[in-house]
Every structure is written in structure tokens, then in C-alpha cells.
Amino acid sequence: MTQLLYGKQVVRQILSDRHTKVLRVYLVMHDAQLEQLAQERSVPVTYVDRRRLHTMAKAGNHQGAAVEIQPYPLYSLADLVEGKHGEHGFLILLDELEDPHNLGAVLRTADAVQADGVIFKKTHNVGLTPVVAKVSAGAIDTVRCAAVTNLTRTLQSLKKMGYWIVGADMDGQDYRSLQYDFNVVLVIGNEGKGISRLVRKECDYVVSLPMKGQISSLNASVSAGILMYSIFASRFPL
């Protein structure tokens, strides 16, 4: 099923982003800039009347322009587990992450450390959007993602498959105290609330980043990046 996005600025950004698979542009009136961008990417342009576009956009403020894109692929949990890159599995699970810039950054780092995949909820979590694609710098095409209904049950299933759950939270043990020489699911919480209570109950370890300055917390994707590279460094020492 394709996805329709609308608004001139949105259409302009998507056409300018080479990582997004664009199928068609819809315009109510001629727009030289959008038409030029579409032509450069060999994207067909269809001209429609305002009423039809209003219906397509479900009464949204389309500004006379919309774009149809190919949705980004999602995989099953089994696909991620079976696609293990090394001796030990390495998955990242996001507990209601909301900022698409954070998800894009997580995907980019996940690609760099060759993690096996990223898991997030189908609801109450940012999904795979053009903004995520742009921030990921292409990692949206290389890192497998799975959208699941229930994070707690997903973690329980992964435990049965031999994974240990490592959650990142404020009051855990120093992240440097673990060796990570086992199948790991790294859990990153919501930007404001952190890891939810039920998800935390499934964690075998809770780790924290020491904060010596005046600021008490780090951005979610920054924390995720540090922990991902900590796991990488533990598994591939110099």
C-alpha cells in the first residue's frame, strides 16, 4: 500500500531526497519548481482538480500538491533474528520513540555497527517516514526494521530465543561494566519518559551513562549511539 503526503514544502523536500522512492506527483496547477524536480527524478506528474486532491488528502491542507511514495519495507521478528551478522545477535528495541530525527540517527548508527535490526511499536512510536529516511542517510535501506504490536511480548519471545535484554535508564549500572558477549537486545526509551514500567520489568540488565557535568541526561539517539558502540567495542576489541 502506497503512502500519500501533501503540502508544497513536503512535496519539495521529498523530491529533493534521493532516499525516498517517489511514485507520482499530483498537482492542481502548474508549479515550475515541483515540475522541474519531478522531471529530474523521472517522476510522472498528474494534474487533478482541487476537489479530487482534497478527497485524496482526506481534507488535509494540501496546498494544491501531493506526492505518492513507496512505503519503506518492514520485516518480521524472525527475519531480524535469522539475519544475525555475527556470533552474537544484536537488536535495538525502541520504546515509544517519538522524534523522527532520533529514529533516523539510530538507524544510521545501527548500520555503522552492523546491528541486526531495529524494533518498534506499530502505534505510539515514530515509523519509517521521509524525515527518518533523510536523517538516516540511506541506512533505512540497509537496516531491517520490524513493527510489533506489543513490546513486552516481543521481549519475552526474544528471551526464549536466547537473547538478554539490556535497558538504558538513569539508575542502572555503569554501561562499561558489561562485556556484551551474548545475544543482546538494547532497549532505548521515550525521549521524555524513558523506558516504560512493563518493558523495564523484562530487562535482564539496566545500564546508565555516567553524567559528570551540569546536564542530567542525553538525547535518546546520542545515548543509543554510545551504547551501540560500547557493544561493538566489547565484541571487537583492538
* HEC profile of the chain: CCEEEECHHHHHHHHHCCCCCEEEEEECCCCHHHHHHHHHCCCCEEECCHHHHHHHCCCCCCCCEEEEECCCCCCCHHHHHHCCCCCCCEEEEECCCCCHHHHHHHHHHHHHCCCCEEEEECCCCCCCCHHHHHHHCCHHHCCCEEEECCHHHHHHHHHHCCCEEEEEEEEEEEHHHCCCCCCEEEEECECCCECCHHHHHCCCEEEECCCCCCCCCCCHHHHHHHHHHHHHHHHCCC
Predicted confidence at residue 193, as pLDDT, reads: 92
- Per CATH, domain 3-69 is 1.20.1250.20: no
One-letter amino acid of 66: A
Parse the chain into domains and list their residue ranges: 3-69, 77-235
Predicted confidence at residue 215, as pLDDT, reads: 86
Tell me the C-alpha distance between 68 and 23, whole Å: 5
Tell me the C-alpha distance between 161 and 148, whole Å: 17
Q: Mean pLDDT per 10-residue run, the chain (238 residues)?
A: 85 84 95 96 96 87 91 93 93 96 96 97 89 86 95 98 96 94 96 94 96 90 97 94
| Same fold for the pair 3-69 and 77-235 | no
Predicted confidence at residue 68, as pLDDT, reads: 94
- Per CATH, domain 77-235 is 3.40.1280.10: yes
Predicted confidence at residue 18, as pLDDT, reads: 78
